[in-house]
A and B are shown apart, each in its own frame.
Chain A
């Protein structure tokens, strides 16, 4: 982006001759900045294993991206920070205690199979970090569903536990059962404050709703994302759980991947619709599928699958929601 040496001739180019100075790397950097609060929260609750997972994922993604570009004989793209972001997002979607070699396998999968085989940034149909997480969930089901307790080092006798969502999987059956489950799983369901600050088991980056909201607001203020996907996603989850599960709707919102999904995963440009209308459909679809999977699926958590499914229909949504040119009747 630096001007080359211009001494003899005037530069000729097609208009416009000015630019907003927005850049892909700045956008990626903004998302990374927005993820810092939740990264910090994850490290605070889960300690060194979280640090190692993040470091391993990010560095693996950078190395693999460079190698891929060299193998493909294309120009390097590490400078656009998209690989760093993929690594960070993947790490934030993993349990802190995951064996590091598995994190390496997941990162390699994310960059190669989910991104570079399609031609790199902008061409991938699925969110690389989420697709890699789904791949890991199937390949390493045990480690991927073993959760470290927050501040696990303080209670050496019971290091791992179930997530709140797993504890209340029965919530949808009936109000009575839900009450019973809630009581039975009382130990598993944290209080409201803990839910908000993230003092509960879960993936590194998904536990602290407060930190995620902070990052989301930053993205909105920086105009990196628009409100359409997060609001429609979160509203759908809340409405569904309110009508299907009663008073504990906020728990559905504050646990699992809804917050990180709504602000950071579903808003991925490449794999979400372009128009506002399309974004609303997309966000609503994500929320609905997420709750259907939580209620009827065999996994306690459905957020990543919901987003991946909606990723696959994104081209269709784009086709439905093409803007109508100014002045056109239809």
Chain B
């Protein structure tokens, strides 16, 4: 095991105000079970899980309440025992509405209902003597998805299609988003669990080199990891990355750690022999396999200048933001903006009634002093966004095209490659909402493609009907 400095710097990137000092030395604290949980069926990327409980049902902790619904999907389990009060559409952290199970955790089990008991939800596995398939099945049934933000189903990622081999397992501990330090705390406090997760993943993926990527602004995490990994066998390195946003982006991290470039879409990291997993995901895998604990809780940073006591909280998935804020002794001033995630890529949400998911790495409450409302000016062609764009696009041209409603021009400028990291809007001196323009273009292109597909499918259906009639 070696600790090395990353020698490769991707083009672009920015240096936002990190504000990590608010919470990065706060120990992880467990939240007492809230009286109500709002467990969304859409906590991951891909198809939402299919809800299989109904109001009035009593569910026990760890019980499956949402079934995996498609290839890119994961199951959802009850984060606590309780009575299902309702199943209804609720606003999620990312703005969309999805089915959610509203759970009353104070209700006691009705008579005749068999409880799973306090023991492990799943049978603990002896990972060294388990087969690859058993381990993948465990990751799947534990409902694990990428916990860094995107929420891609982990069992899919750990099971590369035939003919593709993982050469590098990259463990993402960059956490480049401002304010957030959940992963940082996990690295400091749970380094040995990360190691176990890594060893299990290495068993699943076959012998591969391991790179653990951490930004240099987390020396205590690097220290903890290098102690935990000191005697690990095989090709393992801790790669210290320079502090640069978005160092945590999958493609950029692959470049910064192993100097491989993921080709243009639809290529995936596995096409260049890489699998990237977040540090918290590694811990979740270790818990699922060794302890038989499915992914029911996660560490969330609650921070921002309006929060009385910023904290890193271990809370069940489905905890309402209001409960987290209360646990932080409430607010010290009126929050003007509530953000799910960090300030660069997070989503502003309209209320504290929204609940956490498997991917909620942080929530921020910002006072009006930290909230910028502004009017955008015309583009002055300064090129700051072009220099900042880590995907090497021309955000200025894209924004002007979208402004003129010329979506096809934006598409020619490769807007679909945009990762919406926000570096362009961040650096624009005319305060243009460039990232938003990119999102607009991407949404309208996606809608167009979907409409074209639907039209083609309808035409095919009609043709088939004709065929039958003949």
21 residue pairs of the A-B complex, CB under 8 angstroms, read A1-B374, A10-B336, A15-B345, A15-B347, A16-B343, A17-B364, A18-B343, A22-B384, A22-B427, A22-B428, A22-B429, A23-B429, A274-B396, A275-B386, A322-B397, A322-B413, A325-B264, A325-B392, A326-B251, A327-B267, A329-B263
Q: A3-B368, A23-B429 are in contact. Are A11 and B380 (CB under 8 A)?
A: no
Chain A, Cβ-Cβ closest to B348 = A12
Chain A, Cβ-Cβ closest to B386 = A274
Residues of A within 8 A of B379 (CB): 122
Measured CA separation A123–B350 after assembly (Å)? 37
Measured CA separation A18–B374 after assembly (Å)? 12
Please tell me if B390 contacts chain A, counting CB pairs below 8 Å: yes
Chain B, Cβ-Cβ closest to A270 = B381
Chain B, Cβ-Cβ closest to A275 = B386
Within 8 A of B (CB), among A290-330: 322-329
Please tell me if B106 contacts chain A, counting CB pairs below 8 Å: no
Closest CB of chain A to B393's CB: distance in Å?
A: 6
Please tell me if B326 contacts chain A, counting CB pairs below 8 Å: no
Residues of B within 8 A of A270 (CB): 380-381
Measured CA separation A18–B371 after assembly (Å)? 8
Please tell me if B394 contacts chain A, counting CB pairs below 8 Å: yes
Closest CB of chain B to A25's CB: distance in Å?
A: 9
Total residues of chain B contacting the partner, CB 8 A: 72
Measured CA separation A128–B371 after assembly (Å)? 36
Chain A, Cβ-Cβ closest to B264 = A328
Closest CB of chain B to A281's CB: distance in Å?
A: 14
Chain A, Cβ-Cβ closest to B422 = A16
Total residues of chain A contacting the partner, CB 8 A: 43
Residues of A within 8 A of B264 (CB): 325, 327-329
Within 8 A of B (CB), among A4-62: 4, 6-7, 9-20, 22-24, 26-27
Other than A11-B373, A269-B382, give 5 A-B pairs with Cβ distance below 8 A: A14-B348, A17-B371, A18-B17, A325-B391, A325-B392
Residues of A within 8 A of B380 (CB): 24, 27, 121-122, 269-270
> Are A324 and B378 within 8 A (Cβ)?
no
Please tell me if B426 contacts chain A, counting CB pairs below 8 Å: yes
Residues of B within 8 A of A4 (CB): 373
Residues of A within 8 A of B425 (CB): 15-16, 19
Closest CB of chain B to A71's CB: distance in Å?
A: 18
Measured CA separation A206–B364 after assembly (Å)? 52
Please tell me if B334 contacts chain A, counting CB pairs below 8 Å: yes
> Are A15 and B14 within 8 A (Cβ)?
no
Chain A, Cβ-Cβ closest to B427 = A20
> Are B396 and A17 within 8 A (Cβ)?
no
Interface 0/1 of A262-298, CB less than 8 Å to B: 0000000111101100000000000000000000000
Chain A, Cβ-Cβ closest to B385 = A274
Residues of A within 8 A of B378 (CB): 119-123
Residues of A within 8 A of B341 (CB): 15
> Are B427 and A326 within 8 A (Cβ)?
no
Partner of B371, one of A6, A16, A22, A325: A6
Interface 0/1 of B394-414, CB less than 8 Å to A: 101100000000000000011
Interface 0/1 of B318-331, CB less than 8 Å to A: 00000000000000
Please tell me if B55 contacts chain A, counting CB pairs below 8 Å: no
> Are B335 and A10 within 8 A (Cβ)?
yes
* Across the A-B interface, the 9 shortest Cβ-Cβ residue pairs: A16-B422, A122-B378, A14-B436, A22-B429, A18-B343, A274-B383, A17-B343, A269-B382, A6-B336
Measured CA separation A121–B366 after assembly (Å)? 33
Partner of A13, one of B11, B345, B348, B420: B348
Measured CA separation A5–B168 after assembly (Å)? 51
Measured CA separation A26–B426 after assembly (Å)? 16
Q: A3-B369, A16-B426, A24-B380 are in contact. Are A327 and B262 (CB under 8 A)?
A: yes
